[in-house]
């Protein structure tokens, strides 16, 4: 059976003779299908292997959803929640993963050095903090750098506006962080979230929340689901080891077609191998630093230091420079210790192997 998939291709690839199927097109759009993915494909490919989105990752494989299909792809494809696959009905494990728009990832613990993919194709990351003691510019910057590293557009959301006498200083501080990062102030427990976050929550968009515990992430998710039953919290379970999160990663879709990422892995993102993200967020500082006389300028007391000059003439805030320096150092430290840990694990593995071998050898001789 062949189906007309021409409507899923960019407009210039369509031939007028092909009748659009608005219903199917709409279904894919709601799953987050975008021109970015469509342009990677030829029409024949789409007919033979329809695009499906990974809506859940669990032990048995990848749960995928397409315009009119729902399937489980057994473990095999290197994919994560949010990915788009070209579904091969005959050999599902051969389904091809489309190039990603964005990817949250981290290094897996252990010796295999593998990158663990947390979530793909997220459009917007809401970096959440509250207008209270949780508010911390350096911490915000860490989350923002992670979003930039993943190539996801971040938005700062300041919650608990209703509990704060005067939230303007919080807004002002947040706005100063980057001209590229919008700031939204709201009461997460009111009807405000749906209105104030509407720009990033259109049907077909995929969003995620970053932020420390208690800032209102679950409350925001619930607000975006409106009267719908939000499934947040459902993935948590209690066992003898205490409260922990299951390994399941999933996308929840609102009735309007907004995809909300729900994955425990987002809590454990480390600032490692995120040098590009840090440089992106602090592109102004990086730019100034390139003008220092010495390439290896430490921006201390070297002659011709553009950074010191910028601080002196007020173009660069001393605090911002210090935060950049700290964040960069943290990033470098974490990246280095990851490398060290990898080397250690590798050696440890070797050691275990040789000890076991020797032990077996001894046993054999007995
Ligand atoms: N008044 C008021 N309360 C809020 C607001 N946002 C969150 N809260 C409350 O703050 C508490 C924590 O909110 P949660 O949504 O559970 O926070 P969270 O970020 O999901 O926390 P974790 O699940 O631990 O990561 C709850 O009691 C919320 O009702 C807000 O804007 N205004
Ligand atoms: Zn310098």
Three-state secondary structure readout of 100-158: CCCEEEEECCCCCCCEEEEEECCCEEEEEEECCCCCCHHHHHHHHHHHHHHCCEEEEEE
Q: Is 299 annotated as a binding residue?
A: yes
**Which of 170, 191, 213, 216 has most ligand 1 atoms within 8 Å of CB, for mutation?**
216
Ligand nearest to the CA of 162: 1
Per-residue pLDDT, 356: 62
Per-residue pLDDT, 208: 95
pLDDT band at 128, cuts 50/70/90?
very high
Ligand nearest to the CA of 189: 1
User: Which CATH number is correct for 6-99, 1.20.120, 1.20.58, 2.30.30, 1.10.287?
Assistant: 2.30.30
**Ligand 1 within 6 A of 132 CB?**
no
Ligand nearest to the CA of 295: 2
63-71 LR contacts (CB < 8 Å, sep 24+): 63/250, 64/95, 65/31, 66/27, 66/28, 66/31, 67/24, 67/25, 67/27, 67/28, 68/24, 68/27
All CATH 3.40.50.300 domain ranges of the chain, comma separated, are 116-267
All CATH 1.10.40.50 domain ranges of the chain, comma separated, are 275-353
All CATH 2.30.30 domain ranges of the chain, comma separated, are 6-99
pLDDT band at 27, cuts 50/70/90?
confident
Residues 145, 281 contacting (CB under 8 angstroms): yes
298 CA distance to ligand 2 middle (Å):
6
**Ligand 1 within 6 A of 144 CB?**
no
**Which of 128, 129, 219, 234 has most ligand 1 atoms within 8 Å of CB, for mutation?**
219
Question: What's the pLDDT tens digit per position in 319-359?
Answer: 999 999 999 998 888 887 777 766 766 666 666 666 666 66
Checking if the pLDDT of 123 tops 90, the result is yes
Ligand nearest to the CA of 186: 1
Question: What's the pLDDT tens digit per position in 294-323?
Answer: 999 999 989 999 999 999 999 999 999 999
Residues 74, 93 contacting (CB under 8 angstroms): yes
Could you tell me what percent of the chain has a pLDDT over 90?
60
**Ligand 1 within 6 A of 162 CB?**
yes
For residue 180, the SS3 value is coil
pLDDT band at 242, cuts 50/70/90?
very low
C-alpha 147/C-alpha 152 separation (Å) is: 5
pLDDT band at 16, cuts 50/70/90?
very low
Closest atom of ligand 1 to CA, residue 222: 15
**Ligand 1 within 6 A of 68 CB?**
no
Q: What is the pTM of this model?
A: 0.81
Q: Across the chain, what does the average pLDDT equal? A: 83
Buried b (16+ CB within 10 A) or exposed e, 152-161: bbbbbbbbbb
**Ligand 1 within 6 A of 192 CB?**
no
Closest atom of ligand 1 to CA, residue 211: 19
Per-residue pLDDT, 230: 45
**Ligand 1 within 6 A of 219 CB?**
yes
Q: Is 297 annotated as a binding residue?
A: yes
320 CA distance to ligand 1 middle (Å):
29
Q: Which CATH architecture has domain 116-267?
A: 3-Layer(aba) Sandwich (3.40)
In the chain, the DSSP E strands lie at: 51-58, 61-66, 70-73, 84-86, 96-97, 103-107, 115-120, 124-130, 153-159, 183-185, 206-210, 236-239, 242-245, 249-253, 259-262
Q: Is 161 annotated as a binding residue?
A: yes
ipTM beyond cut 0.95: yes
**CATH code that applies to domain 275-353:** 1.10.40.50
Residues in the chain: 366
Per-residue pLDDT, 32: 93
Output the furthest CA–CA distance in the chain (Å, rounded): 82
Task: Mean pLDDT check: name the lowest of 31-45, 83-97, 114-128, 144-158.
Answer: 31-45
Number of CB atoms found within 10 A of residue 74's CB: 10
**Ligand 1 within 6 A of 223 CB?**
no
Q: Is 305 annotated as a binding residue?
A: yes
Residues 299, 164 contacting (CB under 8 angstroms): no
Task: Mean pLDDT check: name the lowest of 53-57, 120-124, 205-209, 265-269.
Answer: 265-269
Question: What's the pLDDT tens digit per position in 165-201?
Answer: 999 999 999 999 999 999 999 999 999 999 999 999 9
C-alpha 265/C-alpha 82 separation (Å) is: 14
């Amino acid at each position: 059976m062949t189906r007309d998939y021409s409507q899923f291709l960019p407009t210039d690839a369509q031939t007028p003779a092909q009748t659009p199927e608005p219903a199917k097109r709409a279904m894919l759009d709601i799953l987050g299908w975008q021109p970015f993915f469509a342009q990677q494909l030829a029409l024949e490919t789409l007919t033979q292997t329809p695009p499906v989105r990974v809506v859940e990752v669990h032990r048995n494989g990848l749960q995928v959803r397409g315009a009119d299909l729902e399937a489980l792809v057994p473990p095999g494809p290197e994919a994560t929640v949010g990915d788009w696959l070209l579904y091969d009905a005959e050999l599902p494990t051969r389904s091809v993963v489309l190039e990603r728009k964005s990817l949250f990832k981290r290094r897996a613990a252990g010796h295999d050095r593998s990158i663990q993919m947390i979530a793909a194709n997220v459009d917007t990351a809401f970096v959440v903090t509250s207008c209270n003691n949780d508010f911390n510019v350096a911490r915000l910057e860490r989350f923002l750098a992670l979003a930039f590293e993943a190539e996801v557009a971040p938005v700062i959301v300041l919650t608990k506006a209703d509990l704060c006498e005067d939230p303007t200083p919080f807004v002002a501080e947040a706005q100063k962080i980057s001209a590229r990062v919008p700031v939204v102030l709201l009461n997460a427990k009111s009807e405000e979230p749906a209105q104030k976050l509407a720009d990033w929550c259109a049907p077909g968009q995929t969003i995620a929340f970053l932020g420390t515990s208690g800032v209102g992430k679950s409350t925001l998710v619930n607000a975006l689901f409106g009267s719908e039953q939000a499934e947040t919290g459902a993935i948590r379970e209690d066992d003898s080891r205490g409260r922990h999160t299951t390994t399941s990663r999933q996308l929840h879709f609102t009735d309007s077609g907004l995809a909300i990422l729900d994955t425990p892995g987002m809590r454990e993102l480390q600032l490692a191998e995120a040098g590009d993200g840090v440089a992106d967020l602090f592109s102004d500082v990086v730019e100034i630093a390139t003008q220092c006389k010495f390439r290896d300028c430490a921006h201390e007391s070297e002659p011709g230091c553009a950074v010191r000059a910028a601080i002196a003439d007020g173009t660069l805030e001393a605090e911002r420079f210090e935060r950049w320096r700290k964040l960069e150092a943290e990033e470098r430290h974490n990246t280095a210790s990851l490398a060290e840990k990898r080397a250690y694990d590798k050696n440890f593995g070797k050691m275990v192997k040789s000890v076991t071998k020797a032990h077996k050898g001894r046993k054999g001789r007995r």
